[in-house]
Structure 1
């Protein structure tokens, strides 16, 4: 092989190496840019339970907030009891002490903006209608439930958050879109006790 052919071969090898290096740099820059884009819209769902009392009112419920920097698109919400999904909350509602006020808000399909907060359930009583022992019993009963939310960013990166009092979430490949919302069931009227019939009367 002559000197001319060697020089041409060296130039060709250098050109290939330069192309490979340029391709790697472009890929790495794209990776960094994608990471920056995802980081700029990273949602963090925080779930907190609360129990509060004042001179006039006693209440308990759940607050959901987004402490991240991007909107959280909530795809599904579940309540778990001993690791198994709870079909509804009506049984828990029907066991509440009388004279309560209940407000609810659906979560499934909602986009929660950064810094926003929502209260999916808030149960309250006039202070004279519930004792401290009753309130503690209700809090313990509802505290046995584990809340699970699956949510995504605008770039379809998804996480599953579970249990109250924590912002730690597990990355998941995707979220299955829920067809129902467990809190929307609470819009129905509570089950009322059967009226007592006077002795000797038949229905």
Structure 2
């Protein structure tokens, strides 16, 4: 009877150890799966990294201001703000800046009421590898045309600061300005 009791105790202890071992293996596998899921999620976020840049373009007869997405994945425009002197024009596209600021401040453009443009506002989605010519200005090669192109370039390069706040499809958010060298992340997924 004593050996039967020891065998029962040994069987119980062995079953308990096996159960605890199985429980540990399930916990370990679950933990590994969680880490693998997190790595996959991070890979998805980095595979959708929009990169907005702002630049001038032009030749002897025309001037253009570009907003381009050279990153991976679409960029959703959250805000475009124009900074001029001590004022911030919230959610203005570049055409509105031309009409509301430049035509009023610069006598070269006082007779202009409009300019070639592509509307880029809050809610605009810029696909990857897309370049949008936000402002276009064509003129003759005469003296006044050259002055206007030069003046417009000066406005967009030195007098106005253009700020674009945009998001990835996962909600990460960046800010880029016409005076910055690269976008700055302002909101992560962990915020």
8 Å contact 2:139–2:145 — kept in the other structure? Answer: no
Residue 65 of structure 2 contacts residue 136 of structure 2 at CA under 8 Å; is this kept in 1? yes
Is 1:124 equivalent to 2:143 in the alignment? Answer: no
Larger radius of gyration: 2
Contact 2:45 2:170 in 1 (8 A): yes
- TM-score, normalisation: structure 1: 0.68
**1:69 aligned onto 2:72:** yes
Q: Identify unmatched segments of 5+ residues in structure 2.
A: 1-5, 91-95
Q: State the alpha-carbon separation in 2 of the partners of residues 83 and 12 from structure 1.
A: 71
Where 2:80 maps in the other structure, the secondary structure is: strand
2:108 corresponds to: 97
Alignment gaps of 5+ in structure 1: 175-203
Structure 2 CA distance for partners of 1:83 and 1:15, relative to 1, 3 Å: farther
TM-score by length of 2: 0.72
Between the aligned partners of 2:40 and 2:160, the Cα distance in structure 1 is 41
CA RMSD for the aligned pairs? 3.0
Q: CA deviation at 1:138?
A: 4.4
Per the alignment, residue 20 of structure 2 pairs with 13
Pair 1:70–1:49, CA change in 2 (3 A):
same
Question: How far 1:67 sits from its partner (Å)?
Answer: 0.8
- Separation (CA, whole Å) in 2 of partners of 1:8 and 1:63: 71
Q: Which residue does 1:42 correspond to in 2?
A: 49
Q: 1:79 to 1:42 in 2, by over 3 A?
A: same
Q: CA deviation at 1:84?
A: 4.7
